[in-house]
Amino acid sequence: MTDELVLVTGGTGFIAQHCILALLNNGYRVRTTIRSPQREAEVREHLRTGGVDAGDRLSFVPADLNADPGWPEAVAGCAYVMHGASPTPSGDQTREEDWIEPAVNGNLRVLQASRDAGVRRVVLTSAFGAIGVGHAPDHRRPFDETDWSNLAGNVAPYQKSKTLAERAAWDLVAREGNGLELAAVNPVAVYGPVLGADYSHSIRLIANMLNGHMGSLNVNSCCVDVRDVADLHLRAMTDPAARGERFLATVGESMPMIEVAELLRLRLGKAAEKVSTQVLTDEQVRIAGETNEQLKGIVPLLGYDMSATGKKAERLLGWAPRSTEEAILSCAESLIRLGLLRS
């Protein structure tokens, strides 16, 4: 057990809140950044849902990745930083620059503030999108940490932003890190128990399926439980073997979406009666993607093999993740338990 202080950026985020839970449960004090102070009560309530009343072991600092104010205060006195906050464009922001510039500059802003404050190590929450997209069908599978997404290929703006932002982070530490250590965690589709109504895009997919709002698409992905993603962040934060390394957070084989639907139907019974086992054609998805931004981002992944391996984290850090099935089912069960599905 320890009383060291750790900064977790973007405290309203799904992964961030599970990282906060893992840190508090392991004796750390936690500071987290939020853009709006009004959301502190929401974060604390989500943590209570996760079984922890944080009390004075958790503090908050207002900070925005798009601006300098707040970051020196956020990192002051911290031994470590877990940086997962990432700006997400909305509304009319559809240009690539609206994704890329805030992601890259936000990473650099946090790293520079961490370096200047004498932080020991930053654990960057990157993404599979920085590793395994844009490649030709004959590219080696499964993907591992030596791979980088091929930005000359068919890559959506979000995935391009994650790739360039992670590369910028490694370049800064190599060029002017002044002893600051960096490790990166690259999760695949993240499931596991939700803590409230603010959750990730991958979980929205499960919610949409349970609500009967969509059939299955011709896409596949590996999965991981958010609790195991948080555990990997904790291991990457303190283990000497993690310094300067990337770690894919993934377990099992890449799973077609139709198999996710069938698993929900099989294991949840009546609660999953709205889940459709109809598979939409690629052409239907492409047409819908012309007016639906979420589907537009999925079009490049139709029929694309996203197999990846997490063996490096298991070998170097002793990481032992839950099964794909448990990650998916615990996600669905939490959505039902917390009343987050539409009737």
Contact 214, 276 (CB under 8 A): yes
Please list, in sequence order, all residues whose beta carbon lies within 8 angstroms of the beta carbon of residue 120, skipping any fewer than 6 positions away.
Answer: 79, 80, 180, 181
Please list, in sequence order, all residues whose beta carbon lies within 8 angstroms of the beta carbon of residue 172, skipping any fewer than 6 positions away.
Answer: 107, 108, 111, 112
Structure tokens given for 247: 């770690």
| Residues designated as active site | 162
Give the residue among 46, 6, 10, 43 at the shortest CA–CA distance from 23: 6
* SS3 at position 174: helix
Element (H, E) at 61: strand 58-62
Burial 92-117 (b: 16+ CB within 10 A, else e): eeeeeebbbbbbbbbbbbbbbbbbeb
Name the pairing type of β-strands 80-83 and 121-125: parallel
For the CA atoms of 256, 236, 73, 60, the dihedral, rounded to the nearest 10 degrees, stands at 50
Give the residue among 193, 250, 220 at the shortest CA–CA distance from 15: 193
How far apart are the C-alpha atoms of 4 and 103, rounded to whole Å? 28
How far apart are the C-alpha atoms of 189 and 110, rounded to whole Å? 25
Instruction: Give the rounded distance of the alpha carbon of 175 from its chain centre.
Output: 26
